[in-house]
Structures are given as structure tokens and as C-alpha cells.
Amino acid sequence: MTAPGPQADFTERFGPHPSRSTGPRLDTAAVPDRAVNTHCCFCGQQCGITLLVKDEEVIGFEPWMDFPFNQGKLCPKGVKRYLQGAHPDRLTTAYVADAASPSGFRPVEYDAAVAEAAAAIDRIQKQYGAASFGCLSGASLTIEKAYLMGKFARVCLKTPYIDYNGRLCMVSAGAANKKSFGIDRGANPWSDILEAEVIWVSGANVAECAPITTDYIWQARERGAKVIVVDPRLTPIARTCDLFLPIRPGTDVALFAGILYLMVENDWLDHAFIRDHTTGFDEVAASVKEWTPDRTAHATGIAEKAIRQAAEWWGKAKSSFLMHARGIEHSSHGVANCLGAIHIVLASGRIGRKGCGYATITGQGNGQGGREHGQKCDQLPGQRDLGNPEHRAYVSGVWGVSAEELPQPGVDAYELIRKIDKGEIRGLLSICFNPLVSLPDNAFVRRALEKLEFYAAIDFFLSESARYADVVLPGSLHEEDEGIVATAEGRVIKINKAVACPGQAREDWRIIQDIAKALGRQRGFTFDSPRAILEELRVASKGGVADYFGITYEKLERENGIFWPCPAEDHPGTPRLFEPGSWNPIAKGKGPFYFPEGKAHFVVAPVTPPTEVPDAEYPLVLTTGRVVSHFLSGEQTRRIGPLVDQCPDPYIEIHPQTAARLGLADGDAATAETRRGSCTLPVRVVRTIRPDTIFIPYHWPGKKSANQLTISAQDPVSKIPEYKACAVRVRKAEGAGARGGV
């Protein structure tokens, strides 16, 4: 709620300062005290990495050659990740907002800050009710922390209002997976990619956002696989693909409808599989009856010939792997896009077998595990539903509270911000979420944060959002705590602690519990370790769809990870879902899918355009995304010097035809403008983007933020925002000072 202090003083203390190797990190004679096998904190692949520690500081890394997923491979983020430790911007004490301090904050003792946060929570909840306090959590937290945050909101704060930044990530895929398969997990281990003869990649800039997956795809190609890439940009993975479908952003569901149309027309269908293992095919087939190649080409901007070719390769394949990511999920019809993808998988019958796979490429560090155990607004541990009486009864029993006490489902992260704006939510606790940078239409988010009566942020660096906090509690970096996460493959792995938290910083789970204690509501929040939290989570997830009961730290270390579900200690885990004859707790042997009758569901995916389509006033489409050297809101990577050097600032990618029409040459400053805001950045003129589309990467705050422009339209089911398509206009920036967008 506090108006931030002057920029210069704030930056002086809190950065971002780009860190670089100095001292023992450069000294080749420095002998590490220990080497800790753990995982990269950036992205859902969770590559294995060995961190080298000397004098309680991470001084470098060594590739972990034996970890099966990446076998030593790392992207630049993983390579330079060690530079986030011992960082000048690191929060090592608590802070409270102080208008008299030049930076806007004054350091305080940790206990005093916790007491202040607890007093404010108590005051607001007493005055306005329990539901007047909300929590925003994150999918880069370990599963133990994510679980604890869900429990903390429901049991300690008794508020329905908690949601997480996975809302901005792969919830559309999660919702579509639940509707179609009854379970939300990538269906196959990545090793199945190698066995596929057709690989279909929709809306996934694999080379930049999941770089290690590149090797799997290209190794499949070495073995003869054909690679089909669907993207509005010729990305590095598209450069050497066999068929490139340059789709107009936001029209993926039309493409999938068109492909299914051709599969039906040419009888490229697995009738036995459809009959024995699915329901609803006829309705879906009827729903795509009008999606002729001509109409599909018109809707998607892809040449009809290419659509026919893709359908033929897909239709005739004996094995295949379809993967998608945010390109189709970040849409106001993201669930329909994903359902469309699932339709062409189910119609082919190619799932649940070796070399026959389907997966979303999860984006965040624990994007998979972070969406399984209860920090989602409608969810309880084990992928149980907060709205389901049986599920409420089971979990409340584990927690030792009555089911009636548990709040009903709350609202998604953006709706939570709207409730702040409306004054329904007066206080906020955030962890692992930087909404001011990561949410769309962020001028609105800023106004909402300014309205909060009280805001406490748990953070390791002071994020752009935490700048609006009244109390900042110094949390832990990934390498300062242990716990488990689930990767994009559904493989549960162990994160190991390399170093202790510096100064008064604490492991996040301790901070959450300290707040509970200061509130006098510590019952259920007295865990002494992440291991103790996992022990409870194992029981809380038992019998659920995401069953972790058989998972222990020792087993994870021994086996290099275990694929969930793993319902018993002697269970080997489940690398591939939906295998013929497999058992699950919902179908109980009736079939491989997670519904009572054991069948997968074809669910009609209505074809709708993006919420905002180009018009005379805003004639182009803006699409946003990542670059390889940054992660999400850039909170960490914008503080790592070599990663900043690699991509210091955002830019506008634009096609030469469009640039010429606007009088723009490569490097010129241009202003992109939407109905929400404007942003002035240098242009990169490239033929590798559709002429009707511009691209801006979204890792930056303030005047460089792409999310000044994006629309807060959301999918009606998953509530994911539409980052991938809104209407925009571009003009040459006025005045020399505008260059570079500063």
C-alpha cells in the first residue's frame, strides 16, 4: 500500500545489480568443500546439476553427467544460476516500509517483522472477516512449501483466497487433461519422444524455454521421425523441422479441428481404441464437420497444402508424440486449444504405449508438482477437489480439523487482484509471485496493490511487487533448502540444500509457520523439517489421483527420481500413464483412464477467436514469450550479470514488410500500443515472424514491461490470461530520447 521511495535509493539497496564472478568464484585454485547434487531452479525440466560449495557459498557448478534426464546438459540459466547466491541484492534481514527512509524500507529484526505481519493479519481478519485476507503463492516452490501454503491459507488463515502463479502457466493444459483423462500430468516420460515417428510441437519455443528437450526431439529425428512445428515464429526448433505451420496467434483450436476433420475424412482413425477406450467421439467428430481445409487455412493463416500434409503425416503415423506449451495455453480459449490437441491424440489411439505420447511442457521450476497439492484456489492435496465433500472429509481428517471449517473454493490469481481492487480483499501475503511484472494489464495490478491495507511479501530479493509491501520477510533461495519437485515428465525428484540461508533469512516453511505461531494458531504448523512436511503430504495425497504415498527422500535419491503416482513404498512409480491394463484409484481396473468407467473423454472444443482481434485501429497481433537467458518475471535472472549481458532489454520482433510500411529499420525505437498501454522498445526486423504479428519478451518491469500491453481476458475454465494474442498498433517512436524504451 505504501508509495514506493525514489528509484535511485531503492535501486542502490535492492537492485537489480547484475552479479559477476569474483573472489573464490574466479579463483582456479579454490578447492570446493563439497559438491551437492541437486537441480536447476529455472524451468520445468529441472535438470540435474552439481553445485560446488566453498566457505558456505556456492562458487560454481559441475555438470551432473549421471542424472538421466539431462546427462550434464544445461542451458545458460543453469550454467550461471550459482551467481544468484551471495548476491548484493539478497535480503538478509526483514524490512518494513518506512517513508522516511530513502529506499522506502527500514531493516528490522525478523521476529518484530513477523509479529507486525501477524498483528496486521489478525486486525484485518477481525475487522473485515477471514476472507478479507488473501495469499498469492508460486509454482517454483518445492512441493512441501506449496502444500504448506495451501494448508496455511485454509487452516490457519481460514480464507478461501489463495492462488498461485501457475495460473499464468499451464492451467489450461491441466484443466483439459482433467476433462479428458481425469488426471493432470504429462502422460509420458521424455524417453518416449525418441521412439516416435512423428513429433508434433504446438506453441512451444522449445529451444529457448525447454532447451534440453531439443536433444530429445532431434535425436528422434536422427532415427527418422518427422517433426511438425506450429508457431507464429520460425523459432530455432522450427528452423530444421520437416513441416512448419506458421499459425496466426490464438487460432490453434481451429487448426486441430481442421486436422481432425481430415483424419475423419481419410479414415486415419483408430476405431478400436476410440470404441473401447473413449467416450464422446461422435459429438466431437460432428463438431469439426465444417472445418474443411479451406476454412481452416483461412482461420489459421496456414497454407492449405501444409495443413493437409500435417494431417497426413499425423494420420498415418504408427507412433507419435504431441507436445504443447504456453503458445496454445496462454489463451482465453486455452482449454479448448488443449482439448483440440488431445482430440487428435485420442483419435489416433496413440497414447499409453511406448513411443506414443502426449505432454504439456511445464514451464516453471515445479510447475507440475506446484499444481498438485493444494495451493490452487480449488484444490486439496493429491489433486483432490476442495469442492468435493469426500475429498474435504479425507483431507480435513489428515489435518485434524472438521470438514465444515475448510473454506470453499476461492478465485484465480487475477480475480484475487480484482477483489483487492474492489476492496473485498484488504490484506495480502505473497510468496514466489511477482504479479506486477507477470500479470497482464499491469497498470491495473499496480492500482490494486496500492489499495491494500496491508501487504506482506516473503522474498529472497525485493521484487517489483514486494516494493509495495509493508513487511518483507527474507525467504530462501532454491539452494538454501531441501524438498521435492515434480518435473515436466511427472518425475518427482529431490532438491538438496547446498548452503544455509544468510543472515536472518529463513527457509520459507519456517516463515509461514512463524506467522502461524505469532497468530497463536500454530496447531498443524509445527513441522521441524521439509521431511516432516513430506510425511504428512504422503498421507494427505494417499488414495488421490496424485498419490505420493510411496515416495520418500531416500527412494528419490536412490532411483534418480520416481514418477507419480506411487501409491506404496514398494511401488516402482508410473513413468507412462494410461498403459493398457493399468490400475488407478478412480477406474479401479475398469480401464486405463482416470474416470469411473476407465475411458478417456472426447470433450467438444468450441472454436472461438482471441478476445481481441485486430481491427483498423489496432491492426496487428501482439504475442509475448520468453528468451533463453531469462526466467519468468526476471526476478532472479535480471540480477545475474552474464544472463543480463546475453539479453539486456526487451525488443519488438517485426516482419520486414510490416516494418517497411511503418518506416521502421532494424534498431529503430518503436512504440507498441494497445487499449491498455504503450511501450517503446527497439525493433528487430526479422523474416522469421508472421507479417501480421509482433513479438515482445516479457521478463522486464516498469516501462519495459510487455504486460503493460497485454489483455487480462481469461479462459472461462482455467482462468489463464491471454498473453499470446491481443490487438496492437506500432509506430516509430517520437523523439530520439525514446530509443531503447527507457
Partner 1 sequence: MPVPESKEFFVDPGRCIGCNACVQACSECDTHKGYSMIQLDILDRESSPQTIPVVCMHCDAPTCAEVCPADAIKRTADGVVQSARKPRCIACNNCVLACPFGVPKMNTGMHLMMKCDMCYDRTSVGKKPMCASVCPSQALFYGTREEVSALRPNSRPIQSFRFGLQEITTKVHLMVPRRAPLSTLDVGAALRLAPAGGGSGAEDRLLAGMDDGATT
Task: Choose between 575 and 691: whose C-beta lies nearer to partner 1.
Answer: 691
Task: Choose between 247 and 344: whose C-beta lies nearer to partner 1.
Answer: 247
Helix axes 304-316, 252-265, angle to 10 degrees: 60
Exactly one of 92, 240, 388, 402 binds partner 1 (CB under 8 A); which one?
A: 240
Site for partner 1 in 6-35 (CB under 8 A): 21, 26-28
Task: Choose between 378 and 692: whose C-beta lies nearer to partner 1.
Answer: 692
Question: What's at 591, amino acid-wise?
Answer: G
Site for partner 1 in 634-663 (CB under 8 A): 642-643, 646, 656
Nearest distance in Å: CB 654, partner 1: 11
Task: Choose between 4 and 63: whose C-beta lies nearer to partner 1.
Answer: 63
- If one asks whether residue 80 binds partner 1 (CB under 8 A), the answer comes out as yes
Q: What is the DSSP letter of 152?
A: I
CA distance 332 to 710: 12
Exactly one of 16, 38, 44, 73 binds partner 1 (CB under 8 A); which one?
A: 73
Q: What would the grid cell of residue 618 be? A: 489496432
Output the DSSP codes for 69-128.
TTTT---HHHHHGGGGSS-TT---SEEEE-TTSTTSEEEE-HHHHHHHHHHHHHHHHHHH
- Which window, 77-85, 354-362, 452-460, 547-555, contacts partner 1 (CB under 8 A)? 77-85
- If one asks whether residue 664 binds partner 1 (CB under 8 A), the answer comes out as no
- If one asks whether residue 84 binds partner 1 (CB under 8 A), the answer comes out as no
What's the start-to-end Cα distance of the chain, in Å?
26
- Which window, 117-125, 216-224, 336-344, 516-524, contacts partner 1 (CB under 8 A)? 216-224
Task: Choose between 280 and 614: whose C-beta lies nearer to partner 1.
Answer: 614
- If one asks whether residue 234 binds partner 1 (CB under 8 A), the answer comes out as yes
**Contact of 699 with 315, CB cutoff 8 Å:** no
Task: Choose between 283 and 290: whose C-beta lies nearer to partner 1.
Answer: 290
CA distance 232 to 566: 39
Nearest distance in Å: CB 230, partner 1: 11
Output the DSSP codes for 214-248.
HHHHHHHHHTT-EEEEE-SB--HHHHT-SEEE-PP
Exactly one of 23, 33, 34, 239 binds partner 1 (CB under 8 A); which one?
A: 239
Nearest distance in Å: CB 349, partner 1: 29
Matching residue, cell 505461531: 517
- If one asks whether residue 301 binds partner 1 (CB under 8 A), the answer comes out as yes
Task: Choose between 244 and 454: whose C-beta lies nearer to partner 1.
Answer: 244
- If one asks whether residue 79 binds partner 1 (CB under 8 A), the answer comes out as yes
Exactly one of 10, 14, 42, 61 binds partner 1 (CB under 8 A); which one?
A: 61
| Nearest of 211, 223, 227, 720 to residue 488 by alpha carbon | 211
Query: Could you tell me the CA-to-CA distances from 112 to 95, 108, 184, 429, 504 in Å, in that order?
Result: 10, 7, 41, 17, 12
Number of residues lying near partner 1 (CB under 8 A): 61
Nearest distance in Å: CB 25, partner 1: 8
Nearest distance in Å: CB 303, partner 1: 4
| Nearest of 551, 554, 543, 185 to residue 398 by alpha carbon | 543
**Contact of 401 with 664, CB cutoff 8 Å:** no
Output the DSSP codes for 711-726.
---B-TTT--B-TT-E
Task: Choose between 171 and 238: whose C-beta lies nearer to partner 1.
Answer: 238
Q: Which stretch of DSSP H or E encloses residue 735?
A: none
- If one asks whether residue 626 binds partner 1 (CB under 8 A), the answer comes out as no
CA 717 vs. chain centroid, Å, equals 17
Task: Choose between 516 and 644: whose C-beta lies nearer to partner 1.
Answer: 644
Exactly one of 131, 162, 238, 733 binds partner 1 (CB under 8 A); which one?
A: 238
CA distance 428 to 438: 17
- Which window, 111-119, 205-213, 459-467, 568-576, contacts partner 1 (CB under 8 A)? 205-213
Exactly one of 38, 125, 300, 364 binds partner 1 (CB under 8 A); which one?
A: 300
The bridge status of strand 471-474 relative to strand 454-459 is parallel
- Alpha-carbon torsion angle 161, 166, 170, 175, nearest 10: -20
- If one asks whether residue 235 binds partner 1 (CB under 8 A), the answer comes out as yes
Exactly one of 575, 619, 691, 740 binds partner 1 (CB under 8 A); which one?
A: 691
Helix axes 171-181, 334-348, angle to 10 degrees: 40
Q: What would the grid cell of residue 728 be? A: 496492437
- If one asks whether residue 560 binds partner 1 (CB under 8 A), the answer comes out as no
Q: What would the grid cell of residue 290 be? A: 465444417
Exactly one of 116, 208, 441, 722 binds partner 1 (CB under 8 A); which one?
A: 208
Nearest distance in Å: CB 618, partner 1: 17
3-state secondary structure of 321: strand
- If one asks whether residue 66 binds partner 1 (CB under 8 A), the answer comes out as no
Task: Choose between 21 and 279: whose C-beta lies nearer to partner 1.
Answer: 21
- Which window, 410-418, 497-505, 599-607, 683-691, contacts partner 1 (CB under 8 A)? 683-691
Output the DSSP codes for 641-653.
HHHHHHS-S--EE
Nearest distance in Å: CB 220, partner 1: 12
| Residues at the interface with partner 1 (CB under 8 A) | 21, 26-28, 60-61, 63, 65, 72-76, 78-80, 207-208, 211-212, 214-215, 218-219, 222-223, 234-241, 244-246, 248, 297-298, 300-304, 306, 628-629, 642-643, 646, 656, 666, 684-688, 690-692
